Structure formats: structure tokens, C-alpha cells
Amino acid sequence: MKLENIGENIFWMRDGRKTLLTKNLVLGRSVYGERLIDINSLEYREWIPSKSKLGAAIYNGLRDIKIKQESKVLYLGASSGTTVSHVSDIVGVDGSVYAVEVSEEMAIKLIFLSEERKNIFPIVSDASKPEDYTKYVPSCDFLYQDIAQRNQVDIFIRNADLFLKKGGSAAIAIKTKSIDVYGESSEIIKESVKILKGRFKKVQSINLYPYQKNHSLLLCD
Amino acid sequence: MDNSEYVKRAKKAVKDGLSVDDLIKRLLELVESAEKAENELFKASSDMYAFYFPEWERLVTEKEDFIESFSSSISRKDLSKLKGISTESMGYDLSSEDLDVIYLYLNELRNISMVKKQIWNRIEEIIRSNYPNMYSIAGYEISARLIALSNGIKRLAMLPSSKVQVMGAEMSLFSGKKGDRTPKYGVIFKHERLSGLSLEKRPKAAKKIAAAISLAAKADYISKKDISEEIKDRLEKEIKGIRP
């Protein structure tokens, strides 16, 4: 079994096939039913691509994930905290993840998770109204958004303007079906990339098939 | 770093954010799963009973009758009296041990069917006391489903009535390509004023009913006054005025 480091606290485990791992911040705890793996007396958590879009993007060739140790990350659409837990692993104890979720019932799991992981800062608020949480979020090194809404690109840009540090990177998971049910996925992605190019210098798109259908991750610098 | 302030604030936001609409949504989920379980148990138990007493089973086709009949005993002797048929049967002669086990199973069926009724009663009460206009125009079942589908009365009150008309028919609304025929009814298909109408009048009446429900939702959310009589009168007049 070989362990290959591909980013801070992110690893490929190779034992015949590739498995993505992050170093577990809270020992002995599995968040969403993923496997815990001990290698050389260090504990890692499996990052399941079918449950996490960021994980799927890494499986599909995302090289440089830009989230570092001690990064401040703004995470919009945190849901119950599946991907958030891995981002929390990556940034480590000195980093922070500001996790915004609008649905109260989803937020319940997220809040329990943040009681376990002190680097997650839960915010129950609507990401399309960033004015509501400006007081609680400092300027961040990385912005991640996973919201299935028609105006998701617009929400992303507004949040980036408010919270993203100069030179910071961002990633948005786009569900094409929620922008236009009838439209062609590739066309919608092209359209979104065009809009994002007006705000960011570089936009890279990664299709998340087969782990997630009709989803793409756009990485913006 | 300390996130306890954030956790505290988030907990408060959750507590303040949960409302009676969320309760309605959850209760609907409960009752739907109870209905599913009831059907499953009914199918299995009626097959089982037909194995023992087919002559009786074929007379009782309604689920409710079937469940009612097993209140005390399930033996051929007792049940044949209910329908006035002979205890002679071509079915397999089960021992009393077998009958005991089946009786336990039938009890579960009876329980789940009771639970289902109770939850519906509770939903009815909640709708009646919270949304009197919706209750009187749409009935409790349609009201509850619409509120659940739109994630709360607030959003329902903001929606156009054309959306209210097709809510619950998302599958047929989004399936197929652009330009295909769109559905005429969503959950309002079960509305009592629709079922009595001829096929030609129904689509137009659905439009009127959706408008009335939409108005009722607005009244319940915004003015909180009971204007259901007014809406009802107008709806009646409009439905009468429909020409096929």
C-alpha cells in the first residue's frame, strides 16, 4: 500500500486502485459512514466521490486544490456537512471553515459536526443574501459553493466580491439541470464559464460524471 | 479558535426557523410511509388469509372491511358468521399455533391503519387552526401537500396560481421536451369540486380552483382574516359560469 501526498492533508492511497483520503482531524470519528483507515499509526478518512462534488472533481483530474492548511474557507451550501468535514480536515486546527446553510433541518447535522470540529463555523443563513452574514464572515482565502439554484453563478460572484481575498481562489459546483432543465449541459457550462471569466482571470471546468450526473465543478482563480 | 459563538447562534437560528409548516411536512412524510406499510401488510395478509379461507377472502375486497373484521378472532368459525357463509373451505387447515402468528401480524396491520388515521386527524387539526382559509377552500389534505411542496405558507402565498395548479405534477411538467403538453392538475386533482365535473369543464375549473386556493393562501399568510365564505361563493359562481 502506497500513500501519495497530493495536497495538504490530501492523499491517494494506492492498493491496486486509487482511493482518496484526508487526514482525520477528529480521531476515531466517521462523519457520513465513510471508512477510517489507519496507515503508519495515522488515521485517514476515505473521501467518497459519489457523496462529495469536490471529492469527485479530484477523482476526475483536479490537480491543485488551492485549499491549504490554515486557510480560511467560506463554504456556501454546506448541507449536512459531508464535504465540509473534508475541507475541515484539510485546513486543520488553525484553519477555519465558515459553513453557510439555509435549511434548518440540514443545519442540525452541520451544527453537531461543528461541535466536534472546532474549525467549522456554522451559519444558518441564505447564501443569496450575503448582507445577512457579512458581520460573521471575515475575508477568506477560498470560496466554495454548492447550491442547486437557478441564479447560483450570480450568488457566487456576489459572495466572491464580498468575502474573497484579492488573489484568492474559488470553486463552484454547478448543477446544470437547476439552471435550465431543457438546456444542453455543455452549453450551460460554457455560458457560466463566460460569466465567471468576467470576474476571475482563469476558469477551469471539470465534469463530475460518473460520480455526479449533470454536475460540473468550475475552478476560478 | 473558538466556534462556540457561531454554534450558539446557529442553534438559535434553527430553533427560530422551524415552524408549523415543517411539522406539516414531517407529518405528511410519516403518513405516507404509514400508508405504504399498510398496503404492504394488507397485500401479504390477505394472501395469507386466502390460503386459509379463500371463500371468505373473496367476499371482502375492501381494505377497511378486511382490517375491521379481524378485531377479535380470525378463525373460520367466527368469521363465517359475519358474512353468513359456510365454514366449509377448500383452504389449508391451519393449526391454532399458525392462526396465533397470523393474528399477531393482522394486529400490526390494524395498528398501522389506526396510526395513519390519527396522523391525518392531526394534520387536519393543524391546518384548520392555522390556515382556516386554506382549510375551507382546499381541504386539509391538499392544503398540507401544497404547503409541504412549496416549503411553507410564505412561499405558497407568493406563488402564482398557475404554479399552484400544477404543483405535485413536476414529473410530467419537466419530463419530455420543450413544447410537450404540460399537466393540467397537480395535487389539486383530488379537490372535491373537480371530481363531479365533466371532462370538458375540468381543466377550466382547475384553473379557477387554483386561483381560489392561491387567494386563500395569501389571506392566511398576509391578512390572517377568514374570508373563505367570500372566496367560496366566488369560486362557485365561476365554476357555474364555465362553458365547455
Q: How many CA atoms lie within 13 A of B49 on its CB side?
A: 26
- Nearest residue, CB atoms, B6 vs list A93, A104, A136: A136
The edge-to-edge listing of strands for the beta sheet with A10-14 is A2-7, A10-14, A18-23, A42-46, A36-39
User: What's the mean pLDDT in A165-171?
Assistant: 93
Q: Do A118 and B3 touch (CB under 8 A)?
A: yes
Name chain A contacts of B9, Cβ cutoff 8 Å: 123-124, 136
- Cα B16 to Cα A105, B10, B134, B144: the distances in Å are 12, 10, 24, 21
Name chain B contacts of A104, Cβ cutoff 8 Å: 13-14, 17-18, 22
How confident is the model over A154-163, as pLDDT tens digits?
A: 999 999 999 9
Cβ-in-10-Å burial (0-12, 13-18, 19+) of B160 comes to exposed
Name chain A contacts of B177, Cβ cutoff 8 Å: 182
Query: Helix (H, G, I), strand (E, B), or coil: what is residue B158?
Result: helix
Mean pLDDT of residues grouped by 10 in chain B (244 residues)?
91 95 96 96 92 89 86 83 85 92 92 96 97 96 96 95 92 72 89 89 93 96 94 93 82
Name chain B contacts of A124, Cβ cutoff 8 Å: 9-10, 13-14, 17
Query: Helix (H, G, I), strand (E, B), or coil: what is residue A39?
Result: strand
Q: Do A122 and B18 touch (CB under 8 A)?
A: no
How confident is the model over A137-159, as pLDDT tens digits?
A: 999 999 999 998 899 999 999 99
How confident is the model over A100-110, as pLDDT tens digits?
A: 999 999 999 99
Q: Do B177 and A182 touch (CB under 8 A)?
A: yes
Distance between A175 CA and the closest CA of chain B, angstroms: 16
Q: Which pLDDT does position A64 carry in this prediction? A: 86
> Of the candidates B157, B145, B189, B156, which has an alpha carbon nearest to the alpha carbon of residue B27?
B145
Give CA–CA dist A21/A52, Å, rounded: 13
Q: Is B29 on the interface with A (CB under 8 A)?
A: no
Q: Is B199 on the interface with A (CB under 8 A)?
A: no
Q: Do B13 and A125 touch (CB under 8 A)?
A: yes
Name chain A contacts of B20, Cβ cutoff 8 Å: none
ipTM score of complex: 0.91
Q: Do B6 and A96 touch (CB under 8 A)?
A: no
Q: Do B10 and A136 touch (CB under 8 A)?
A: no
Name chain A contacts of B154, Cβ cutoff 8 Å: none
Residue of B4, B7, B25, B154 to mutate for A, most A C-beta atoms under 10 A:
B7
Helix axes B96-130, B20-52, angle to 10 degrees: 160
Q: Which pLDDT does position B30 carry in this prediction? A: 96
Name chain B contacts of A93, Cβ cutoff 8 Å: 1
User: What's the mean pLDDT in A122-126?
Assistant: 95
Is residue B108 within 8 A of residue B44, CB to CB? The reply is no
Q: Which pLDDT does position B220 carry in this prediction? A: 96
What is the overall mean pLDDT for chain A? Answer: 93
Q: Do A115 and B7 touch (CB under 8 A)?
A: yes
Is residue A8 within 8 A of residue A68, CB to CB? The reply is yes
Distance between B231 CA and the closest CA of chain A, angstroms: 33
Q: Do B10 and A118 touch (CB under 8 A)?
A: no
Q: Which domains, from first to last, does chain B contain? A: 19-121 (1.10.287.4070), 132-242 (1.10.246.90)
Is residue A53 within 8 A of residue A173, CB to CB? The reply is yes
Give CA–CA dist B45/B111, Å, rounded: 14
- Cα A89 to Cα A29, A208, B190: the distances in Å are 12, 22, 50
Per CB distance under 8 Å, which residues of A are interface residues toward B? 93-94, 96, 104-105, 107-108, 110-111, 114-115, 118-125, 136, 181-182
Total residues belonging to chain A: 221
Neighbours of B1 (CB within 10 A): 9
Query: Helix (H, G, I), strand (E, B), or coil: what is residue A164?
Result: strand
How confident is the model over A69-89, as pLDDT tens digits?
A: 999 999 999 998 999 999 999
How confident is the model over A26-45, as pLDDT tens digits?
A: 999 999 999 999 998 999 99
Q: Which pLDDT does position A182 carry in this prediction? A: 82
> Of the candidates A172, A207, A220, which has an alpha carbon nearest to the alpha carbon of residue A75?
A172
Give CA–CA dist B178/A111, Å, rounded: 42
Q: Which pLDDT does position A45 carry in this prediction? A: 96
